[in-house]
């Protein structure tokens, strides 16, 4: 993944330990990318808009993944010390 378009969507940040905090941070990333997407549409920047769409898909995937029940996360060997990547 290329450089993040917003600070809230930086995938190199550590994952919060609490499940609720993880989902809050993911939602914050999606909101910031949604705002950035609307801004890029208004000014007509197509390449950054495509990158924004790609990053929104990534964070939407994380939202779905981290919304799974805790038992599924443990079965997958989730390590909370890793960054979002």
- Domain extent listing, the chain: 37-66
Q: Is the pLDDT of residue 81 over 90?
A: no
User: What's the confidence (pLDDT) of residue 16?
Assistant: 92
What does pTM read for this prediction?
A: 0.79
Cα separations (Å) of 45 from 5, 14, 38, 39, 69?
A: 13, 30, 11, 9, 39
SS3 32: helix
User: What's the confidence (pLDDT) of residue 47?
Assistant: 96
Model confidence pLDDT, tens digit, residues 62-80: 999 999 886 655 555 655 5
Asked if residue 4 lies in contact with residue 28, where contact means CB atoms within 8 angstroms, the answer is no
Model confidence pLDDT, tens digit, residues 27-38: 999 999 999 999
């Amino acid at each position: 993944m290329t450089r993040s378009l917003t600070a809230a969507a930086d995938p190199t940040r550590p994952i919060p330990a609490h499940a609720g905090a993880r989902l809050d941070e993911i939602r914050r990333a999606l909101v910031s990318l949604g705002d950035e997407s609307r801004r890029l549409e208004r000014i007509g920047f197509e390449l950054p808009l495509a990158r924004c769409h790609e990053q929104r898909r990534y964070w939407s995937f994380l939202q779905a993944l981290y919304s799974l029940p805790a038992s599924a996360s443990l079965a997958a060997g989730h390590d909370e010390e890793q960054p979002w990547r």
